[in-house]
Amino acid sequence: MGGLIMEGDEATVGTILSRSEALSRAAEAGILLYGGAAFSGLARSARSGRPLPHLVVCPELSQPPAGTPPDLQRSNLISASNRLAVRTGLPLVLNLSVALLSGGAHRAVENARVDIWQADAAGDYSPERPASGDSWLRGYQLTDDCGDVRFLTIFPGWYAGRTPHIHFKVRAKVGEKLLEFTSQLFFSAHDIDYVYCRTPYREFASRDTDNDRDPIFNQHQSDGSVAGQYLTLHLAANPAGAGYAAQFTILLTEPSCASDSGCSDPRRHAYVD
């Protein structure tokens, strides 16, 4: 359990806006945020028809991406691997959407690069650049004109000290700026318990860490809220096949928030590993 995690895999870039900050910025654009925390991604904004955000963030300015090999631009993160802990994992269709809040309006972001990487059912990560070519459960997609990407992956396994999670990174070019946000997605305790009663996860069911004890899930925001509540996926039956599906929508704000009193330190409210 707990195979290789490459340097930088746990790093976080950007700022999750606190509940009050998110509500304030959304109000400027006429977006309704349910409760200011766990937003409903299935509802849609009457103003734009876009899914309402689960997460409102202030990204950081970044440099052009230089890492992921071209052959890892893929939607299906399972098919290229013969690894048993990948092939037997519970299928998960992960639908991610990226939008930008700018000038009092929000719009879908086209051609944003969205990377995800995660552990297999046994809790092991693949190396980023394996000599064997078998780089399981890693890949990136570019958002379409609706700001959407879709990945076919599996429910992740746990490893020592961490609750099940999926890493993600969003890099979007806006004008001459490259915006970057990196964090992790979690699952509800109910969904985790259900999945870990099934094969092959029940073979590794003696988890040493749940959401309540995970140090990353429980990172506190400036308003005292727990970061994990902003980053929790909720599983639904996959309408197109086996396993489950989940939707998550990320609303990027302009990095000019760094000049605001509440964002003078771009990591002040950051979700940090």
Domain-located, residue 4: no
CATH number of the domain bearing residue 253: 2.60.130.10
Residue 272 lies in a domain: no
Q: Angle at Cα 170 formed by Cα 244 and Cα 35, nearest 5°?
A: 65
In a domain, 273, yes or no: no
The two tokens of residue 105 are 């309006």
What pLDDT is recorded for position 33?
Answer: 59
Domain range for 127 is 15-64+72-263
User: What is the model's pLDDT at position 272?
Assistant: 29
DSSP class of 63: P
Q: What is the average per-residue pLDDT within 168-174? A: 94
252-261 per-position pLDDT tens digit: 998 755 434 3
Rounded Cα distance between 81 and 209, Å, is 28
Domain presence at residue 10: no
Per-residue pLDDT tens for 47-64? 455 567 888 899 999 876
Categorize the per-residue pLDDT at 269 as very low, low, confident or very high, splitting at 50, 70 and 90: very low
Residue 119: pLDDT band by 50, 70, 90 thresholds?
very high
Scan for tokens 């990560």, then name that residue: 125
Residue 7 lies in a domain: no
Domain count, the chain: 1
> pLDDT class for 152, splitting at 50, 70, 90?
very high
In a domain, 270, yes or no: no
Domain presence at residue 57: yes
pLDDT in tens, 14-36: 888 877 787 777 776 667 554 43
Instruction: Compute the half-sphere exposure of residue 140: CA atoms within 13 Å on the CB side of its CA.
Output: 19
Tokens of 229: 């509540």
Three-state DSSP class for 190? helix
Question: Mind listing the pLDDT tens digit for each residue in 76-95?
Answer: 999 888 899 999 999 999 99
Say if strands 91-102 and 244-253 run parallel, antiparallel, or are unpaired.
parallel
pLDDT more than 70, % of the chain: 75
Q: Provide mean pLDDT across the span 122-127.
A: 91
* Residue 115 belongs to some domain of the structure: yes
Q: Residue 219: what pLDDT? A: 85
CA 193, CA 212: separation in Å to the nearest integer?
Answer: 13
